[in-house]
């Protein structure tokens, strides 16, 4: 581990279990916390409230990483190419605003880097990218049973059918970035 200052990134692309499983496998990523952001309901929302779609929150992850090992642009590029950023409020069978593709930037540098990544990865998609780019509002950590979900539940059907293919895609596309 280097002595550099750690950075934090927050984004979502459907179910946070999927995004967490992909991003936590990257070298330089130190922690990944599943949670909620971007809503308008007062107080800390619960998973049940988020699933209703009524709070406006998205399922997101908050990533702490070492920029001397992996930079924000690399993490965003992996994120943008391991989920479908061209479907509005949907990833696979998961539908609703809580499953939207979103990048919540923490500062102006992240905002400009995210804008650049969005332009670059658009070339790889036939349909327009609909990923929301917004300043980070309050981040709420999800309940404990949602943390490290894939690693703790590998034999569950959702993990084998939905998340395993995303992890295999990560391994095929980004083997040089894996921890």
Choose, from 15, 18, 51, 159, the residue flagged as catalytic: 15
Spatial CB neighbours of 117, under 8 Å, sequence gap ≥ 6: 73, 76, 77, 80
Phi/psi for 55 (5° steps) reads -85, -20
Spatial CB neighbours of 149, under 8 Å, sequence gap ≥ 6: 16, 17, 20, 21, 34, 159
Is 15 tagged catalytic?
Answer: yes
Residue in the structure block whose two tokens are 């596309």: 173
Active site members: 15
């Amino acid at each position: 581990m280097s002595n550099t200052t750690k950075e934090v990134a927050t984004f979502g692309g459907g179910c946070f279990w999927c995004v967490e499983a992909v991003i936590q496998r990257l070298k330089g990523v130190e922690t990944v916390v599943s949670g909620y952001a971007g809503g308008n309901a007062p107080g800390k929302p619960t998973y049940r409230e988020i699933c209703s779609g009524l709070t406006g929150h998205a399922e997101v992850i908050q990533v702490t990483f070492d920029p001397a090992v992996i930079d924000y642009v690399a993490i965003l590029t992996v994120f943008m190419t391991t989920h479908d950023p061209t479907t509005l409020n949907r990833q696979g069978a998961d539908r609703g605003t809580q499953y939207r593709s979103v990048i919540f930037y923490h500062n102006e540098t992240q905002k400009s880097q995210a804008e650049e990544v969005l332009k670059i990865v658009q070339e790889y998609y036939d349909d327009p990218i609909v990923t929301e780019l917004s300043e980070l509002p309050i981040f709420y950590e999800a309940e404990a049973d949602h943390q490290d979900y894939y690693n703790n539940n590998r034999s569950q059907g959702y993990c084998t059918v939905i998340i395993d293919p995303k992890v295999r895609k990560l391994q095929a596309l980004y083997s040089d970035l894996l921890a």
